[in-house]
């Protein structure tokens, strides 16, 4: 697994735990003074047994936006290697397209776009198919990926927040353009 030294604590802690199992080797890429990963360093770090690269789209502390499209193209050149991006900090603030970014997995959190706390979403690409294993078994919800009943109000709240944030981005863009051109 390859990630960066400046990922969100939830990713860093998950990688640490996976590394402690002895089943995974974790490579932590350095970043430059602006918080960006050097795509050449990523390419050099990929080994034949690398299965996952996880790099956040927008950093939660310094706000840098990674070159995800270039990172995605590097990962796509390696069969069996999947790219995950934690997009929680970018969702609702910058336009995001999973196809343009070339990611296989993308996670977001509802509260980051003023939606309800306790709900998020995980995008998984169909081709090449990303196969996930459940952490907790039982119930068979969501094609066997998780147990328990969904909270429809939270899911609807996340959807509404996403819809509103897309509109708000356009309004904000309009006002920024107006300020810059006057």
Q: Spell out where the chain has E strands.
A: 2-4, 27-29, 52-54, 82-86, 105-109, 120-124
Q: Is-contact 24 6, C-beta < 8 A?
A: no
Report field, pTM of the whole predicted structure over 0.85: yes
- Residue 162 CA neighbour count, 13 Å, CB half: 17
Q: Is-contact 44 2, C-beta < 8 A?
A: no
Given this structure, which CATH class describes domain 2-181? Answer: alpha beta
Q: Which two tokens stand for residue 161?
A: 């927040």
**What's the CA gap between 58 and 90, in Å, rounded?**
5
What residues contact residue 38 under an 8 Å CB cut-off, 6+ apart?
29, 32
Residue 1 has what pLDDT? Answer: 99
For the chain, what's the residue count?
182
Distances (CA, A) of 93 to 28, 115, 156: 27, 13, 20
Q: What are the pLDDT digits (tens) for 149-174?
A: 889 999 999 999 999 999 999 999 89
CB atoms within 10 A of CB 113: 20
Beta bridge partners of 52: 82
Cα 154 from chain centroid (whole Å): 20
- Report residue 140's pLDDT band, with 50, 70 and 90 as the boundaries: confident
Q: Is-contact 120 155, C-beta < 8 A?
A: no
**What's the CA gap between 3 and 26, in Å, rounded?**
7
Q: What are the pLDDT digits (tens) for 45-94?
A: 999 999 999 999 999 999 999 999 999 999 999 999 999 999 999 999 99
The percentage of residues in the chain with a pLDDT greater than 70, rounded to a whole number, is: 100
Q: Where are the domains of the chain?
A: 2-181
């Amino acid at each position: 697994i390859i990630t960066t030294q400046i990922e969100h604590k939830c990713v860093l802690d998950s990688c640490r735990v996976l590394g402690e199992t002895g089943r995974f080797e974790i490579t932590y890429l350095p970043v430059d003074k602006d918080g960006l990963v050097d795509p050449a360093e990523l390419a050099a770090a990929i080994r034949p047994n690398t299965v996952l690269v996880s790099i956040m789209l927008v950093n939660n502390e310094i706000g840098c936006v990674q070159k995800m499209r270039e990172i995605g193209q590097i990962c796509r050149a390696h069969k069996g290697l999947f790219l995950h991006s934690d997009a929680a900090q970018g969702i609702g603030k910058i336009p995001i397209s999973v196809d343009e970014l070339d990611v296989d997995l993308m996670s977001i959190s509802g509260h980051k776009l003023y939606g309800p706390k306790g709900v998020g979403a995980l995008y998984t690409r169909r081709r090449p198919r990303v196969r996930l294993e459940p952490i907790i078994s039982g119930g068979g919800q969501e094609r066997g990926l998780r147990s328990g009943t969904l909270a429809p109000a939270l899911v609807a709240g996340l959807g509404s927040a996403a819809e509103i944030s897309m509109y708000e981005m356009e309004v904000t863009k309009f006002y920024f353009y107006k300020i810059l051109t006057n």
